[in-house]
Structure 1
Amino acid sequence: MKRLIFSIILIYTSLCALAQGDSITLADPTIFKDADTYYLYGTGKANGFGVYTSTDLKSWKLNELNALTKGESFGTSGFWAPQVFKHQNKYYMAYTANEQIAIAEASSAMGPFKQQQLKHITLSGKHIDPFVFKDTNGDFYLYFVRLTNGNRIYMARLNNNLTDIDSTTLKPCIAATEIWENTANSNWPVTEGPTVVKIKNRYYMFYSANDFRNIDYAVGYATAPSPLGPWKKYKGNPLISRRITNQNGSGHGDIFKGNDDKWYYVFHAHNTNSKVGPRKTALIKLKLTVDGNFETVPSSLRYLKNQ
């Protein structure tokens, strides 16, 4: 009888685990919405980037093929922080590899994203965490991180074919200057993971601060009257942190609007309180107040599962 009860419990537990699915463990996640389908990408593979799809932000399915594969675009290692955008019926992926930034093309959001010439953008030094923003007037800007006296967020205009930057427009945006942004008092302060949206005539840049291994890794935002800045940090930062999520290392994600016309932020968190990776992928709803500030909806927080 005891064996039967144990077997029933074991089967029930297995079925529950199957129903819940496996946790998605993409760091630096981004969600791109095309029509009614969501595409989820992030850091997690040594040979490129995979892609998950969903129609409801709850049930996710991993595609069998990579969205981008090493050898078909720039890079041999360190495939980090992708972002996908669409322009004139083409899909583009901006991403990091070999601590450089490259942009590949595809005919579908599923990929495969490729380059005819395997190259990175023309800029000296090391640079990571790209985000391409298209303004309402049609201009494209690349926001990214330069590794120079810390991780600092910069921007530059993209050229017309969206393959490189106009280096004459290079401009700094944000560096770690606030207490919450460098809780370890590091000699190499970190601000990274920029993502930009425009709401009415105001530009919002979400970004993360602290080393990603730090339990205080968190998300804040700044606003500006122009994509060029100047950027003013929100006084209520950090917006997303372990105080809100109860999970260490909550940060580096992407803001997007869902099919319900609500704002969401996808991000990663440490695996456990004692283990950083593999980092878990999470989603939280945001609310824009009447005075133009963002707030989180803590009850909406959930971790993404592969069904």
Structure 2
Amino acid sequence: MLTALPLLAVAAPAALAATVAPALVVNGDFPDPDVSRFGSTYYAYSTNNGFGNVPVASAPALSGPWTRRGNALPTLGAWASGGLTWAPDVSVRADGRYLLYYTARSTATGRQCIGAALATSPLGPFSPVGSGPLVCNAGEGGDIDASSFTDSTGLRYLLYKDDGNAIGQPTSLWLQRVAADGVTLQGARVELLRSGRSEENGVIEAPALTKVGNSYVLFYSLGGYGGDAYQTSYATATALTGPYTKAYRSLLTTASLDGAVRGPGGADVVRESGGDHIVFHGWINNNTARGMYVAALGWSGGYPVVRGSRVRYEAERGVLTRCSVRATAGASQGQVVAYIDYADSAVDISVFAPRAGAYTVHIGYAAGFGDAQHTLGVNGGAAQVVAYPNTGWETWREVRADVTLVAGANTVRLGFQSRWAELDYIEVA
């Protein structure tokens, strides 16, 4: 390491606010929310609770205020028993009627299966379609978590999860084409994704599909739903039927949200010209209920970014000025930026913001020769000083700094200020 250079004069920016956490918009039990706008009103549907088989709420905006409007499905199909009506999905058909997919317990098989119902109003009451379930394969543990997808040509599809974990088997997410009525299955189903990663614990579920540019993005939940292990991830493909590639890291976790939401899952995506959002549930009231949260959603090269949830950017993938990459097994992805030791040493990292405003940058570092400092600037603006308490080399810690970002791409620059620190990554929430 080099002898410390004199401190550079850095203008101190005005005090900045921290990132915006997801908003709790239904502060009561509303698990597995499905949200759509029909006309000028937003409607949300949830897994059963004390408000009925399929509780429904409405609001003039995603941010609320949300008003509970009763039970959208007062009567289940003749094939089903009550008390386990899960993860509804409501869409509108070409004939103007509203189609509800729901999960309930089959009295014949003792497994969860998928049914359908129709109504002339998004509030219901929905009336069951047919004498039996729409999808029900007891041999794969049953089938749950139906959702709808319509492509740009108007073709309709049904997505769902086989409940393999109920019988000790891996779980898969499936795509099934349906006729315009949404209830007539057409052709063979296609497996899109299967569980297998350790953090999934044999469970992937709650599929929700959207298309961004030329990419299909499949959101899903994973892990045990009962606590912090539950989380939301996604996979991408260039064709509707795949193959789908799972994201390197989950999109929403208790940790990525810094504890602002616990066990984020059951996500749905609301696409609108004024800006997209993701809606999901999280544990509230000492883990006795799952409330509904809303967060801003953006797309960086076709990949989802959620405001309030950390995204990691490796420092070694930035643009380096008078510093270099060093390999070390203890760091994130095995590399760091070292030798940021000169007055003109800097690392420029491109980051993405779904909306303009306040964000928090978390910086992974090690400082092994006393406390160190870097400057941190955004998009060429006035810099602030970031202090790195001494950790010892190869002991990686985080510090945070609050910044203001523009919507879309931003450049975060970290430069030498005093003594010596190595950079592992930054995470932007």
Question: For this structure pair, what is the TM-score category when the shorter chain's length is used for normalisation?
Answer: 0.7 to 0.9
| Aligned amino acid, residue 262 of structure 2 | N
Please state whether the residue corresponding to 2:66 is helix, strand or coil: strand
- How far off its partner does 1:257 sit? 2.0
The structure that is strand-richer by fraction is 2
Q: 1:242 corresponds to which residue? A: 254
* Mapping of residues 157-172 of structure 1, within 5 Å: 157-166=177-186, 168-172=187-191
| Aligned amino acid, residue 282 of structure 1 | Y
Please state whether the residue corresponding to 2:225 is helix, strand or coil: coil
C-alpha separation between the residues in 1 aligned to 2:131 and 2:255? 43
- How far off its partner does 1:48 sit? 1.3
Q: Is the alpha carbon distance of 1:71 and 1:102 closer, same or farther for their aligned partners in structure 2, counting shifts above 3 Å?
A: closer
2:188 matched to 1:175?
no
Q: Is the alpha carbon distance of 1:292 and 1:122 closer, same or farther for their aligned partners in structure 2, counting shifts above 3 Å?
A: closer
Please state whether the residue corresponding to 1:59 is helix, strand or coil: coil
- How far off its partner does 1:70 sit? 2.5
Q: Is the alpha carbon distance of 1:239 and 1:127 closer, same or farther for their aligned partners in structure 2, counting shifts above 3 Å?
A: same
Q: 2:266 corresponds to which residue? A: 252
**Of residues 185, 196, 213 in structure 2, which corresponds to 1:200?**
213
* Mapping of residues 53-132 of structure 1, within 5 Å: 53-57=58-62, 58-63=64-69, 65-71=70-76, 75-77=80-82, 78-88=84-94, 89-98=96-105, 99-125=112-138, 126-132=142-148
Q: 2:414 corresponds to which residue? A: none
Please state whether the residue corresponding to 1:243 is helix, strand or coil: coil
| Aligned amino acid, residue 270 of structure 2 | F
- How far off its partner does 1:21 sit? 9.4
- How far off its partner does 1:266 sit? 1.0
- How far off its partner does 1:72 sit? 6.3
| Aligned amino acid, residue 296 of structure 1 | V
Conservation of the 8 A alpha-carbon contact between 1:122 and 1:164: no
Q: 1:33 corresponds to which residue? A: 37
Conservation of the 8 A alpha-carbon contact between 1:122 and 1:165: no
Q: 2:154 corresponds to which residue? A: 138
Please state whether the residue corresponding to 2:256 is helix, strand or coil: helix
Bigger CA radius of gyration: 2
C-alpha separation between the residues in 2 aligned to 1:108 and 1:270? 30
Please state whether the residue corresponding to 1:221 is helix, strand or coil: strand
1:217-238 deviation per Cα after TM superposition (whole angstroms, max 9, x unaligned): 1111111122211111122x21
C-alpha separation between the residues in 1 aligned to 2:223 and 2:66? 30
| Aligned amino acid, residue 193 of structure 2 | I
| Aligned amino acid, residue 145 of structure 1 | K
C-alpha separation between the residues in 1 aligned to 2:299 and 2:290? 28
C-alpha separation between the residues in 1 aligned to 2:103 and 2:75? 12
Taking only the aligned residue pairs, the percentage that are identical comes to: 25
TM-score of the superposed pair, with normalisation by structure 2? 0.59
C-alpha separation between the residues in 2 aligned to 1:156 and 1:54? 31
Q: Is the alpha carbon distance of 1:21 and 1:153 closer, same or farther for their aligned partners in structure 2, counting shifts above 3 Å?
A: closer
Q: 1:154 corresponds to which residue? A: 174
| Aligned amino acid, residue 240 of structure 1 | L
Conservation of the 8 A alpha-carbon contact between 2:29 and 2:49: no
Kindly report the root-mean-square deviation, in angstroms, between the aligned alpha carbons of the 2 structures.
Answer: 2.3
Please state whether the residue corresponding to 1:31 is helix, strand or coil: strand
Structure 1 gaps of 5+ residues are 1-19, 183-188, 301-307
TM-score of the superposed pair, with normalisation by structure 1? 0.80
- How far off its partner does 1:22 sit? 7.2
C-alpha separation between the residues in 2 aligned to 1:101 and 1:26? 20
- How far off its partner does 1:164 sit? 3.6
